[in-house]
Amino acid sequence: MQEQTRTVGAEGHLVATFTPAQGAPGAAPPVVAVLSNSGVIPRGGPHRINVLLAREFAAMGIPSVRFDMSGLGDSQRSDSTRSVTEQWVADTREVMDAAQAQFGCARFVMVGLCSGAIIGHLVALEDPRMRAVLLWDMYAYPTLQSRLRKLAFKIGRAGLLGSAQKAGVMLLRKLRLMPPDDAPAKPKGEMSVSPPKDEFMGRVDRLTNQGVELLFAYCGGQPEWFNHRGQFAAMFAGQAWLPKVSFELLETTDHLITSGPAKRAFIDMTTGWVRERVVPGAGRHS
């Protein structure tokens, strides 16, 4: 397997690594996998998961490209005046152009990790070549049960006494018998804010109507945010698209896919979904 790293894009400022598929040289691949940053983590992915995925995809006969969006990893900032989100969507499409020229395939699947998931689904809304997106730890919306579980988790973590003390402080602050918490609120970036639920559901409706495969996948390490298997169906209850999308919860995997077993679980989930929903029949070359 001969990987090739080069600069791509109209400005030549994006660094991308192309991994060809193993076996059947010259044959057009069924799809090209797109791998990118998770937050500010470089194109190798959290704990090198994108490198491992690229090798796994290659063995399945699927080439891939992993790249750094503008200003991340090795890629330089763009000269454009676009917003960060617009720029990263444009970057992804430019990399898809380069991958299409390299591999001769105009069908793409993106493994979107965290912020990459946001970019992946926005690209799919703009570009019909994006046929499938894995959405890792993307938006979640609270439900009654998730709120109760979050409360139970917090009590379990702090203990009854600690929880009672925290509740007391909150009450005293509310009654203005204690000075307010003057710690500055953490600034939220463009990527950290979930859109209104109706808006997001509308986007998913559009994508599924266009035949885009979506896998909503969540880690088990966000108990204050997405904390039980039933939360997915509950937060999107009644949506016509719900049966059309896939869902997974990896309970022993953390957000950054740190441990060896977590990596294996993530890779198995991803390749299993690709075989089942994106490229039925994709195998594994020895």
Partner 1 sequence: MTISIRHFGHWDRPMVGIHMAADGGARPRARFLLCRPLGQEAVRSSAVFRVAGERLSREGVESLRFDYHGTGDSPGDEGAQSLDDWVRDTLAAHEQLLGEGASGGEPPVHWFGMGLGAVIALRAALLAKHPPRHLVLWEPVFNGPGYLQALIAGHKAELAMMFAQPWEQIAASGKVAEPTLPGDVLGFHFGERLVADLCALPDLNVLPALRRGLRITCAVRGDQPHPLAAHAGLSALKLHTVEHPTDWMSSQAMGTAIAPPDIPRVLLATLD
DSSP 110-162: EEEETHHHHHHHHHHHH-TTEEEEEEET------HHHHHHHHHHHHHHHHHHH
Binding partner 1 (rule: CB under 8 A), the pick from 29, 30, 36, 43 is: 43
Contact set for partner 1, span 104-163 (CB under 8 A)? 115, 153, 157
Question: Rounded distance, CA 114 to CA 260, Å?
Answer: 20
Binding partner 1 (rule: CB under 8 A), the pick from 10, 24, 40, 167 is: 40
Binding partner 1 (rule: CB under 8 A), the pick from 189, 195, 202, 211 is: 189
Per CB under 8 A, 9 contacts partner 1: no
The residues facing 214 across adjacent strands are 133
Binding partner 1 (rule: CB under 8 A), the pick from 39, 59, 107, 163 is: 39
Q: Is 34 helix (H, G, I), strand (E, B) or coil?
A: strand
Binding partner 1 (rule: CB under 8 A), the pick from 21, 34, 41, 215 is: 41
* Piece in contact with partner 1 (CB under 8 A), picked from 119-127, 187-195, 201-209, 267-275: 187-195
Beta-strand pair 4-8/32-35: unpaired
Contact set for partner 1, span 13-32 (CB under 8 A)? 13, 15, 17
Question: Rounded distance, CA 30 to CA 56, Å?
Answer: 15
Binding partner 1 (rule: CB under 8 A), the pick from 20, 29, 46, 112 is: 46
Question: Rounded distance, CA 238 to CA 46, Å?
Answer: 34
Q: Which is nearer to partner 1, 49 or 279 (CB)?
A: 49
Which residues does 245 contact at the CB level (< 8 Å), separation at least 6?
204, 208, 213, 214, 215, 216
> Which residue from 232, 241, 234, 143 is spatially nearest to 201, judged by alpha carbons?
241
**Window 250-269: contact mask with partner 1 (x via CB under 8 A):** -xx-xxxxxxxx-x------
What number of chain residues touch partner 1 (CB under 8 A)?
A: 46
In the complex, which residues of this chain contact partner 1 (CB under 8 A)? 1, 3-7, 13, 15, 17, 39-44, 46-48, 51, 66, 72-74, 76, 115, 153, 157, 189, 191-192, 220-224, 251-252, 254-261, 263
